[in-house]
Structure 1
Amino acid sequence: MSFTRLAAATTPTAHLGLGLAAVGRPAYLTLGREAQLPAERSVEALRARTHELLDAAYAQGVRYLDVARSYGRAEEFLAAWLREHPEADDVVVGSKWGYTYVGEWRTDAEVHEVKDHAPEAFERQLAESRAQLGDRIDLYQIHSVTPDSPALTDTALHERLARLAADGVTIGFSTSGPAQADAIRAALEVTVAGEPLFRTVQSTYNLLETSAAGALAQAHEAGLKVIVKEAMANGRLAGGQEPRDLHMVAQEAGVGPDAVALAAVLRQPWAGVVLSGAADIGSLHSNLLAAATELDGAQLASLAELVEDPEVYWRRRAELPWQ
Structure 2
Amino acid sequence: MSKNDSIIGLGTAAIGRPQYINIRQEASDQISLEDFRQLGRSTLEYAYQQGIRYFDTAPGYGLAEELLIDWVKTKNDPTIQIATKWGYTYTANFDLEAKQHEVKEHSLSKLNEQWQKSKELLSNLTIYQIHSATFESGVLENEAVLQKLLELRKEYNIDIGITTTGSNQVEVLKKALDIEVESHSLFEAFQVTYNVKDQNTFEMIKTLKNQAKKVIIKEALANGRLFPNKKYRHYQKLYSFMGQLANKYNVGIDAIALRFCIDTVEPFKILSGASDKIQIIDNLKTLTFQLEDEEIELLKSFRINPENYWSERKRLPWN
Residue 301 in structure 1 maps to residue 290 in structure 2:
no
User: Alignment partner of 2:43: what SS?
Assistant: helix
Instruction: Call closer, same or farther: CA 1:264–1:297 in 2, change over 3 Å.
Output: same
Residue deviations 1:169-209 (CA, integer Å, cap 9, x gap): 22110000000011001000111111100110001000010
The answer on 1:118 being equivalent to 2:110 is: no
SS in 1 for 2:13: coil
1:58 aligns with 2:63: no
Which residue number in structure 1 is paired with residue 221 of structure 2? 232
SS at structure 1 position matched to 2:160: strand
Tell me the SS of whatever aligns to 2:163.
strand
CA contact (8 A) 1:260 1:293 kept: no
Q: Which residue of 1 aligns with 2:96?
A: 107
Deviation at 1:32, TM superposition (A): 3.8
> Equivalent residue of 1:145, what SS?
coil
Q: CA deviation at 1:128?
A: 2.6
Any residues of structure 2 matched to 1:209-228 within 5 Å, and which?
209-228=198-217
Q: Does 1:16 align with 2:8?
A: yes
Contact 1:219 1:226 in 2 (8 A): yes
Q: Which moved more, 1:41-50 or 1:150-159?
A: 41-50
Structure 1 contact 13–60 (Cα < 8 Å) conserved = no
The correspondence for 2:271, drawn from 269, 275, 285, is 275
- Which whole-Å CA distance do the structure 1 matches of 2:247 and 2:229 have between them? 13
Unaligned runs of 5+ in 2: 231-237
User: Quick one: structure 1 residues 15 and 26, their matched pair in 2 at CA, closer, same or farther if it must change by over 3 Å?
Assistant: same
Contact 1:220–1:270 (8 Å) recurs in 2: no
Cα offsets for 1:47-90 (capped at 9, x unmatched): 2121222122111211100000100010111112112222x331
Structure 2 equivalent of residue 202 of structure 1: 191
Task: Say if 1:174 and 1:203, in contact at 8 Å, map to a contact too.
Answer: yes
> What one-letter code is carried by the residue in structure 2 that aligns with 1:23?
I
Contact 2:196–2:257 (CA under 8 A) maintained in structure 1 = yes
Aligned-partner SS, 1:237: coil
Kept in 2, the 8 Å contact 1:70–1:100? The answer is: yes
2:234 aligns with none
Displacement of 1:150: 1.2
Identify the residue that residue 142 of structure 2 maps to in structure 1. Answer: 154
Q: Which of 265, 288, 292 matches 2:288? A: 292
Quote the residue 1:79 is aligned against.
Answer: 69
Aligned-partner Cα distance in 2 for 1:272–1:89: 18
Distance 1:226 1:180, change over 3 A: same
Query: Displacement of 1:148 after TM fit?
Result: 3.7
- Measured on the aligned residues, the alpha-carbon RMSD in Å equals 2.0
Taking the aligned partners of 2:30 and 2:75, their CA distance within structure 1 comes to 26
1:316 maps to: 312
For residue 243 of structure 2, the aligned residue among 238, 247, 271 is: 247
User: 1:165 is matched by which residue type in structure 2?
Assistant: R
State the TM-score, normalized to the length of structure 1. 0.91
The answer on whether the counterparts of 2:82 and 2:121 sit within 8 Å (CA) in structure 1 is: no
Q: Does residue 152 of structure 2 align to residue 164 of structure 1?
A: yes
Quick check: 233-242 or 257-266, which moved more?
Answer: 233-242
Q: In 2 relative to 1, CA 214–147 (structure 1 residues): closer, same or farther, beyond 3 Å?
A: farther
| The one of 30, 35, 39 aligned to 1:40 | 30
The amino acid that maps onto 2:101 is H
The answer (yes or no) to whether the contact 2:263–2:291 under 8 Å persists in 1 is no
TM-superposed CA distance for 1:229, in Å, is 0.4
Partners of 1:234 and 1:81 in 2: CA distance: 27
Q: Report the Cα distance in structure 1 between the residues aligned to 2:257 and 2:22, rounded to whole angstroms.
A: 15
Write the distance in 1 (CA, Å) between the matches of 2:228 and 2:46: 20
Q: Give the fraction of aligned pairs with identical amino acids, expressed as a percent.
A: 34
Name the amino acid aligned to 1:10.
S
**Aligned residue identity for 2:99:** E
Tell me, in whole angstroms, the C-alpha distance in 2 between the residues paired with 1:320 and 1:164: 36
> CA offsets per residue over residues 107-129 of structure 1, 9 Å max, x none?
11111011111111111111132
- 1:23 partner SS: helix
Check the 8 A contact 1:208/1:233 in 2, yes or no. yes
- Aligned counterpart for 1:139 among listed residues 127, 134, 144: 127
What is the aligned partner in structure 2 of residue 92 from structure 1?
Answer: 81
The 5-angstrom pairing of residues 185-196 of structure 1 reads 185-196=174-185
